[in-house]
Amino acid sequence: MHDTDPETGLMPQQNLLIGQLLFSPARYDPDQEIVYRDDLRFTYRELRARVQRLADGLAGLGVRPGDTVTVMDWDSHRYLECFFAVPMMGATLQTVNVRLSVDQILFTLTQTRPALLMVHPDFAEVVTALAEHIAFPCGIVMLPDDGPIDGAICYEPLLARASDRYDFPELPETTTATTFHTTGTTGQPKQVFYSHRQIVLHTLSLIATYATKTDQGRFDQSDVYMPITPMFHVHAWGVPFMATALGVKQVYPGRYEPDRLLALQQREGVTFSHCVPTILQMLLAAPGGADLTGWKIVVGGAVLTRSLAEQAQARGIDIFCGYGMSETCPLLLIAHVDTQSLPEGADDIGLRILAGRPAILTDVRIVDEAMQDVPADGVSRGELVARAPWLTRGYMNNPEASRALWQGGYLHTGDIATATPDRYVKIVDRLKDVIKTGGEWVSSVDVEDLLTRHASVTECAVIGVADAKWGERPLALIVANGAIDSAELSRHLQGFVDQGKLSRFAIPDRFIAVEALDRTSVGKIDKKRLREKYAAPK
Amino acid sequence: MHDTDPETGLMPQQNLLIGQLLFSPARYDPDQEIVYRDDLRFTYRELRARVQRLADGLAGLGVRPGDTVTVMDWDSHRYLECFFAVPMMGATLQTVNVRLSVDQILFTLTQTRPALLMVHPDFAEVVTALAEHIAFPCGIVMLPDDGPIDGAICYEPLLARASDRYDFPELPETTTATTFHTTGTTGQPKQVFYSHRQIVLHTLSLIATYATKTDQGRFDQSDVYMPITPMFHVHAWGVPFMATALGVKQVYPGRYEPDRLLALQQREGVTFSHCVPTILQMLLAAPGGADLTGWKIVVGGAVLTRSLAEQAQARGIDIFCGYGMSETCPLLLIAHVDTQSLPEGADDIGLRILAGRPAILTDVRIVDEAMQDVPADGVSRGELVARAPWLTRGYMNNPEASRALWQGGYLHTGDIATATPDRYVKIVDRLKDVIKTGGEWVSSVDVEDLLTRHASVTECAVIGVADAKWGERPLALIVANGAIDSAELSRHLQGFVDQGKLSRFAIPDRFIAVEALDRTSVGKIDKKRLREKYAAPK
């Protein structure tokens, strides 16, 4: 890799490797801190030494380039060390969603055949169940908060007896660095994977997207970072890589407990986090009501309601959304607001709760079924598709799903969206949930949102059912407090049609009262199941 | 390029292309302005259309992927358009140092064999001379400030009749995007070259290096950029690519005239520029003495003296240095100061005039002749060598020089440097000018600096001459105001030896009075010539 060409004398192109983010950061401050809960704090100098020791220790256990090392942990400094050490030694880091069932976890491990498992004691029972079906040739490493599993090696002793002068190999940049499984609502999990090159480019794009902002939602070398999206979920959105490359103070909270998260934020001066709306809700509802001014929080994973965003703002949080998915590493859109150039009276919070604007180097389009761009007029709907140098190249060992994902040369998000002329994207529905009726696309989410404004509706789901004349027609399933009055609900929706806020085709033909709505294993409304149940009219 | 693999269903990795910086920027503000002198202002929307038109126009003239398009211009919006359009169509942009002699320019064009020449009327005579020896199969395009050369096509009419819907090809990222010749002090110019991938990565590193700073020397989306290092000199240090990728206002000043530069800075609110010390000196000396607060200026290309830096600071300029060279694209080091964490009484300006700290993704080392790191103690000297994904892979058609450049797997800068523990690098001398005497490396620059502090010395050069006992010994050539007194100059230097500021081996054995010092074509002291002249002792 380091040799010039014998004929031309030219040096080959230099590879992009994750180790460069650790050893050649944007800011080198060896005394900067990494904090783990109330238990531990150490410096970047020690982080670099610990990453070396971890790699040396794993190599001593027999882990080789090309092997998979699987981790099951809460957010910790140990996980951060794995983020670097495992890929840097040429092995693949598999991050496991610890909330999956034993069967699902077993399924993912059967696909990756890990050489070694690193696991937090909280998951000891899962490991015992797994060990009946799967062997870990290089053993099991216990992350040492608690007592070990029989026969497992402990993490700190492993590091203590290893060398801090491990010689990391020069790898091809296309070497697979990380892998994990998507937790789709249906079917078996699908395996995505990311190369060194992709993670380095994703990190550079994150930096260029966040650091270049003048004020709102900025991330620079003075920030203090704490993840509140799990590190097993798309590398905590890739932010630990960005934080390390910027040399900022990082705070790892272990298992999420709202009181502890808030206490850590206050004590350590955390200024940048990311989470899903549910966690934000829990943080805001926690007793104490501390002033959270100066805390920037990016929200993703589900729609952030205006009301929740306003509550966060009232507490001083700089709240805004991002959009991505397991298949996109995940950066695609960030809802930054150019506060300095925002027109008088503009709806600042209305922009922050959108999916966002495209990150640098992304090619984000909203297209119809023929892959033609729909107008960026804030109204026209199409599927959100994207290209970027860091999107998963497909699903491992699944050519059919891979081809479907990349149909027409763009990654299909499966989300229906609109875009404004200044490139703010709004997600209106999942493609599979949108109701195609009489040539129009009706957003089930829109109709549900308007229905729940009626006092009698506690919860609802709107699905498309086959219709000979219209292709599909909307059907509303209502969890009501009391009886439902279909005519009254129709009139309620007609009011929004009259105001031009809803298409007249969007009013469901039928409203059916149900006890509860079917849900998936991760708690989302299972529209696939509902469509099956209500497929046959009458 | 857009097709999934027939067997695995996987998408190939996505290429890094310069067009992504233009069309997928970090901030998309189509109404943002590009300004050219007092003559023109237009928007990024128009910039994108003009880049399309230029590519379409050049294609119409017969320019094809793989062809070279050569530009000779002052800093202009047209040059910026060429920075994008030429590489994006798969051709190579050759930038010519317009200060070279006709013979040197002819030499560089004979190497690249351009398909087309784009030229400012100021260089019409040069072109006439060139045209006697070289043909431009696709013609000559006149940048239209003035009357055209006979038979030349004019730039604006070319764009006017072209389409703004040119279909840019999907290129391999290793496609050569730009090329130019280094203006070494000796020998024929050597040809460096940069790929799309390298320029995109260089731009991302520039952004990550500048934008992540908390205050000092920051560059973000609120800045206004004006180059004051020529665009033919290593792409104006790559900053036009960064500025475009950030969507900021850009001001192009044409040929540099201090009054005009200052007027543009004031009128357009320029906040970020870069230049060599000579230009800075001219700007500060220009009449008017306007307050320049808020203007960040990066200085490179030669040593910035403390005195000049202080003068700049007194005028309100945020002044700091950068280091790089034609072979490094050029980003390697930037002398940012972490003002927030600077210890009480620290020498802020002393840090700003250093070469700087390593940029993200660079592997910068200071090594002895066996390629072993010298201690980062601020004193130990060695050659500065580097790796980074954007360094030139060598010199085109020059295997011997390429191999020498990349000896031992690192690019050799030819500069002798020291580094502090916190990675601030200081350049002490050129490797070829350093005097190796009795096993010690004496910096000619250090001795020259101390000698010029003596009232009798106007200017001087210190060179090494062969010595049977010591290997080399320093010899001082003095331009004096009056006669020189060797004993007095020796005593003067001995004072610094006594203070521990100079090695006793550094005092020259001989001081020779000269009328003037030999200089190279670009005005630098020609130490090679001096060494030849004074090689034979006595």
Full set of structural domains in chain B with CATH: 435-533 (3.30.300.30)
Q: What integer pLDDT is reported at residue A538 of this predicted model?
A: 46
- CB-neighbour burial class of residue B83 (10 A; exposed 0-12, middle 13-18, buried 19+): buried
The residue that leads in pLDDT, B195 or A345, is B195
pLDDT digits (tens, 9 = 90+) for B156-195: 999 999 999 999 999 999 999 999 999 765 567 899 999 9
Q: Is B327 a catalytic residue?
A: yes
The mean pLDDT of B426-444, rounded to a whole number, is 86
Name A244's Cβ contacts closer than 8 Å, sequence gap at least 6.
A21, A22, A25, A47, A80, A84, A250
The encoded tokens of residue B19 equal 């067009």
Residues of chain A contacting residue B192, judged by C-beta atoms under 8 Å apart: none
Using pLDDT thresholds of 50, 70 and 90, give the confidence band for residue B538.
Answer: very low
Q: Is A527 a catalytic residue?
A: no
The encoded tokens of residue A65 equal 């380039």
Q: In Å, how far are B55, B76, B169 from B456, measured between CA atoms?
A: 59, 45, 64
pLDDT digits (tens, 9 = 90+) for A353-362: 999 999 999 9
Q: In Å, how far are A16, A42, A242, B205 from A246, measured between CA atoms?
A: 17, 17, 6, 12
Beta-strand ranges (E) seen in A30-101 are: 33-36, 40-43, 68-72, 92-95
Nearest CA in chain A to B248: A212
The mean pLDDT of A96-119, rounded to a whole number, is 93
Specify the residue for token string 């397991």.
A326
- Interchain contact, A26 vs B359, CB within 8 Å: yes
pLDDT digits (tens, 9 = 90+) for A328-344: 999 999 999 998 888 88
The encoded tokens of residue A126 equal 């899962």
Using pLDDT thresholds of 50, 70 and 90, give the confidence band for residue A471.
Answer: confident
- Interchain contact, A389 vs B14, CB within 8 Å: yes
Q: How far is A10 from chain B (nearest CA, A)?
A: 5
Residues of chain A contacting residue B371, judged by C-beta atoms under 8 Å apart: none
What are the b/e assignments for B225-264, b being 16+ CB within 10 Å?
A: bbbbbbbbbbbbbbbbbbbbbbbbbbbbbbebebeebbbb
If we measure between CA atoms, which residue out of A247, A191, A195 comes closest to residue A224?
Answer: A247
Using pLDDT thresholds of 50, 70 and 90, give the confidence band for residue B511.
Answer: very high
Q: How far is B220 from chain A (nearest CA, A)?
A: 4
CB A395 within 8 A of CB A389: no
pLDDT digits (tens, 9 = 90+) for A290-308: 999 999 999 998 889 999 9
Q: How far is B1 from chain A (nearest CA, A)?
A: 8
Residue B522 has pLDDT above 80, yes or no: no
Q: What integer pLDDT is reported at residue A253 of this predicted model?
A: 97
Residue A522 has pLDDT above 70, yes or no: no
pLDDT digits (tens, 9 = 90+) for A404-435: 999 999 999 999 999 999 999 999 988 888 89
Q: What integer pLDDT is reported at residue B289 of this predicted model?
A: 87
Which parts of A217-326 fold into alpha helices (H)? 234-237, 239-246, 258-268, 277-285, 306-314
- Indicate the DSSP class of residue B339: G
If we measure between CA atoms, which residue out of B158, B146, B157, B159 comes closest to residue B255?
Answer: B146
Residues of chain B contacting residue A220, judged by C-beta atoms under 8 Å apart: 211-214
The residue that leads in pLDDT, A34 or A532, is A34
Determine how β-strand A249-252 pairs with β-strand A224-225: parallel
Q: How far is A50 from chain B (nearest CA, A)?
A: 20
Cis amide bond preceding B330, omega within 30: yes
Collapse the DSSP code of A208 into the 3-class scheme (helix H, G, I; strand E, B; otherwise coil) and give the result.
helix
- CB-neighbour burial class of residue A313 (10 A; exposed 0-12, middle 13-18, buried 19+): middle
Name A177's Cβ contacts closer than 8 Å, sequence gap at least 6.
A18, A87, A92, A93, A194, A195, A196, A198, A199
- For chain A, what percent of residues have pLDDT higher than 90? 80
Residue B394 Rama label (left phi>0; alpha psi -120 to 50; beta): left
Q: What integer pLDDT is reported at residue A416 of this predicted model?
A: 94
- Interchain contact, B213 vs A220, CB within 8 Å: yes
Q: What integer pLDDT is reported at residue A470 of this predicted model?
A: 87
- Interchain contact, B14 vs A391, CB within 8 Å: yes
Q: What integer pLDDT is reported at residue A438 of this predicted model?
A: 80
Furthest C-alpha separation in chain A: 84
CB B158 within 8 A of CB B146: no
pLDDT digits (tens, 9 = 90+) for A56-81: 999 999 999 999 999 999 999 999 99
Of the candidates B436, B501, B524, B533, the residue annotated as catalytic is B436
Can you name the residues that pair with B41 across neighbouring β-strands?
A: B35
Q: Is A182 a catalytic residue?
A: yes
- CB-neighbour burial class of residue A135 (10 A; exposed 0-12, middle 13-18, buried 19+): exposed
Which residue among B3, B24, B212 sits closest to A27, beta carbon to beta carbon? B212
- Interchain contact, A11 vs B246, CB within 8 Å: no
Residue B412 has pLDDT above 60, yes or no: yes
Q: Specify the pTM.
A: 0.92
- Interchain contact, B399 vs A9, CB within 8 Å: yes
Q: Is A327 a catalytic residue?
A: yes
The mean pLDDT of B137-144, rounded to a whole number, is 91
Spatial separation of the C-alpha atoms in residues A298 and A291, rounded to whole Å: 18
The mean pLDDT of A467-492, rounded to a whole number, is 91
Q: What integer pLDDT is reported at residue A164 of this predicted model?
A: 96
- Interchain contact, B16 vs A389, CB within 8 Å: yes
Averaged confidence pLDDT in chain B: 93
Furthest C-alpha separation in chain B: 84
Residue A216 has pLDDT above 70, yes or no: yes
Q: A126-130, A321-325, B79-83, B327-331: lowest mean pLDDT where?
A: A126-130
Over the Cα atoms of chain A, what is R_g?
A: 25
Residues of chain A contacting residue B358, judged by C-beta atoms under 8 Å apart: 24, 28
